[in-house]
């Protein structure tokens, strides 16, 4: 079988049978690399040795792809810190291979797996492996095994890096974590809609999203991805001019209008509003935009519009009636059809639209996603849990 054909078949099978892994995989770059022993990812790109792929059955290639995707979903390329790369790769393998077994994938012979490590994070497993500090092996933290990018033999990971190959700054790492967590949320919702989200993956998503990522990073990344004015003809793309193509450049001069819906049924207090508006105003200093504020309890109780000349945006709690989350979407379609996104501050204890209205939506929720009753869970958008300081 042709190498590229085998990879294509494995990707197609992943899409059909494992939508969670497929959703994340299709957001990554795939590249053949004969210098890579097996396969490897840095969180953005998946490199693979074509000879390695050719040596496997298609179902085993599916396992390799899902294995690499799970390293990314668990943020392993971002969380190594000062840990030894080989040992952290081993710990990561032990942490995810049991989940892949639960998902019905065919594990490669020799892949790292121990039942005792089920439901443990890579950081916990790292401390329990032979050679870790205090394990009595005589191996210090400064000493390590011979470098091996894939000690488990089914795909490893390396540290995430910036476009210039330099290590990520703290801010860049936080932004990359936000990007991955949003992608994981979207993948989980897609798989759940098809009835193909195993319980172990659902638990992973729940544990991943809530304790690791601050709602502020989710908010900032969401706005940056959905509302930017990305293309400018004023500054042509220099990369294509030499070829005779005059194309717009990727440049953000601000944001499309934002719609901010505020649930005023009594679930959002002024303290939470103050915290949220401080973060929003900080974002708007970098990306100037008009902001339409829609207050709603059982119906629209008031609206405000702020232009960049009228900052800071100031929010006030009002209304305190029943809860219906649908009216702001109707308002937005009639009054702000060019809006880049909807940000809804709420406890989600009310009816939301039954179908996706077509505007990217972030629910900034005062109820933790894991505690949200199923009947109130929105059928679209992402959820960020606002932890009130």
User: How many Cα atoms are found within 13 Å in the side-chain-facing hemisphere of 41?
Assistant: 28
The torsion angle over the Cα atoms of residues 139, 140, 146 and 151, rounded to 10 degrees, is 80
Instruction: Indicate the pLDDT class of residue 241, thresholds 50, 70 and 90.
Output: very low
Dist CA 18 CA 174 (whole Å): 28
Per-position DSSP letters for 140-174, written without gaps between them? -TT--PSP-S-TTSS-EE---B-TTSPBPPHHHHH
Dist CA 340 CA 127 (whole Å): 45
Residue 234 pLDDT > 50:
no
Q: Which helix (H) or strand (E) holds 191?
A: helix 170-193
> For position 114, what pLDDT does the model report?
95
Residue 237 pLDDT > 60:
no
Contact 152, 111 (CB under 8 A): yes
Q: Which two tokens stand for residue 114?
A: 């121990």
**Total residues found in the chain within this entry:** 389
> For position 146, what pLDDT does the model report?
47
Residue 19 pLDDT > 80:
yes
- Tell which phi-psi region holds residue 348, choosing left (phi > 0), alpha (psi between -120 and 50) or beta: left
pTM exceeds 0.85 for this model: no
pLDDT digits 0-9 by tens, 145-167: 445 678 999 999 999 999 888 99
Regarding beta strands 300-306 and 291-296, do their DSSP bridges make them parallel or antiparallel, or are they unpaired? antiparallel
Dist CA 385 CA 218 (whole Å): 9
Average pLDDT of the chain to the nearest whole number: 83
pLDDT digits 0-9 by tens, 50-105: 999 999 999 999 999 999 999 999 999 998 988 999 999 999 999 999 999 989 99
Provide the H-helix boundaries in 49-149. 50-54, 58-73, 85-102, 122-128
Dist CA 69 CA 258 (whole Å): 33
């Amino acid at each position: 079988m042709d190498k590229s054909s085998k990879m294509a078949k494995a990707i197609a099978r992943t899409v059909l049978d494992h939508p969670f892994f497929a959703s994340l995989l299709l957001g990554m770059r795939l590249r053949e690399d004969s210098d890579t022993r097996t396969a490897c990812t840095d969180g953005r790109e998946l490199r693979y040795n074509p000879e390695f792929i050719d040596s496997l059955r298609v179902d085993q290639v599916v396992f390799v792809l899902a294995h690499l995707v799970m390293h990314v979903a668990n943020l392993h390329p971002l969380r190594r810190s000062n840990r030894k790369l080989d040992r952290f790769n081993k710990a990561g393998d032990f942490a995810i291979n049991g989940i892949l077994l639960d998902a019905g994938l065919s594990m490669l012979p020799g892949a790292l797996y121990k039942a005792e490590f089920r439901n443990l994070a890579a950081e916990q497993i790292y401390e329990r492996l032979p050679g870790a500090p205090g394990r009595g092996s005589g191996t210090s933290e400064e000493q390590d095994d011979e470098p091996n990018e894939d000690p488990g033999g089914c795909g490893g990971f390396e540290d995430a890096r910036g476009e210039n190959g330099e290590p990520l700054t703290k801010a860049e790492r936080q932004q990359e974590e936000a990007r991955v967590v949003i992608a994981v949320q979207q993948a989980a919702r897609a798989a759940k809609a098809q009835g193909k989200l195993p319980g172990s993956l659902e638990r992973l998503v729940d544990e991943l999203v809530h304790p690791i990522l601050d709602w502020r990073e989710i908010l900032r990344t969401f706005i940056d991805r959905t509302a930017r004015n990305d293309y400018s003809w004023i500054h042509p793309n220099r990369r294509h001019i030499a070829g005779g193509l005059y194309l717009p450049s990727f440049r953000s001069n601000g944001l499309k209008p934002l719609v901010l819906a505020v649930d005023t049924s009594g679930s959002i207090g002024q303290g939470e509003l103050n915290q949220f508006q401080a973060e929003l105003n900080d974002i708007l200093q970098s990306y100037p935009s008009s902001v339409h504020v829609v207050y709603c309890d059982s119906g629209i109780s008031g609206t405000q519009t702020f232009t960049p000349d009228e900052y800071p945006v100031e929010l006030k709690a009002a209304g305190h009636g029943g809860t219906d989350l649908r009216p702001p979407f109707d308002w937005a379609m009639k009054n702000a059809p060019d809006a880049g996104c909807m940000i809804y501050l709420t406890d989600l204890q009310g009816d939301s639209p039954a179908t996706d209205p077509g505007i990217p939506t972030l629910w900034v929720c005062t109820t933790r996603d894991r505690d949200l009753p199923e009947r109130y869970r929105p059928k679209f958008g992402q959820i960020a849990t606002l932890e009130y300081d």
